[in-house]
Amino acid sequence: MTREEAQLELDATTLRPQDASPEARAMAESDPALGAWLEKRTAFDEDVAEAFAASIPAGLRESILQAAKKPAKRPVRWMLPTLISAAAAVVLGWFMLWPVSGEMPSWQAESLAAVTKVEYGVTRVDHLSRDFEAIKKLLVADQSPTPVRLPGTVGGMPVLACKRIQVAGRVASIICFEIQPGKEAHLVVMDNNALVSAPPQMQPQFQTSKNWHMASWSDGTQSFLLATTADEAALKKLFGLA
């Protein structure tokens, strides 16, 4: 088995490692680089699975099992497919909204995953405040990164909330702004020391995935990802580009 074959097999079984062949697992244990990749990939897939699980209504599994045990009366016969369809619709809907791509650098994928869960209420923010200076103080108190400098009018948007997260094995922050009425923009801030595929200094890179528009850049020792479901023109306007 080649390293590439082992990686392909391990990639397909991150959530069921027992399904991977002993040879592939042994290669991951003996190859430090492959082992580190598998650890990061598994953590990412577990985050996605957790987001899917959080989207399924509480008690749905129990309702389906109970319905399956009942006599095949007409109401139950109709209810069971309905419940299964509802569960499938929830998972499919979340899949359609999930913007993270395997082609993204790991730090960007992890950042966007965290932002998406905040946007759709899968995870809660830590603090609410309409005062940017208060948000910064809360982040400092949480020992979370605080932006030293922000380009254009990024820091001039009305602020809403903040949250401490982990990205690429380091502490990071999410700061939630209102970019348009009813539309949020989420800024991820982190230290870029030894950050693989860190964005360029001061020059924002723009990217689109599903219905998300993103800008990433670095400034000194900090790297940033700003993501929003508002239109791309609204995002670029913050940088004086639209």
Query: Which H, E and C letters describe 28-91, residue by residue?
Result: HHHCHHHHHHHHHHHHHHHHHHHHHHHHCCCCHHHHHHHHHHCCCCHHHHHHHHHHHHHHHHHH
**4-13, 19-28, 119-128: lowest mean pLDDT where?**
4-13
Residue 117 to residue 231: CA distance in whole angstroms: 19
pLDDT at residue 169, rounded to an integer: 87
**34-48, 67-81, 188-202: lowest mean pLDDT where?**
67-81
Residues in contact with 240: Cβ distance below 8 Å, sequence separation at least 6, in sequence order: 152, 153
Residue 64 to residue 61: CA distance in whole angstroms: 5
pLDDT at residue 232, rounded to an integer: 95
For the chain, the straight-line distance linking the first and the last C-alpha, in angstroms and rounded, comes to 52
How many CA atoms within 13 Å lie on the side-chain side of 223?
20
pTM (predicted TM-score): 0.65
Is residue 68 scored above 80 in pLDDT?
Answer: no
C-alpha gyration radius of the chain: 21
Query: What pLDDT, in 10s, does the model give residues 223-239?
Result: 999 999 999 999 999 99
**46-55, 98-107, 170-179: lowest mean pLDDT where?**
46-55
Q: Chain-wide mean pLDDT for the chain?
A: 81
Partner residues linked to 163 by β-bridges? 174
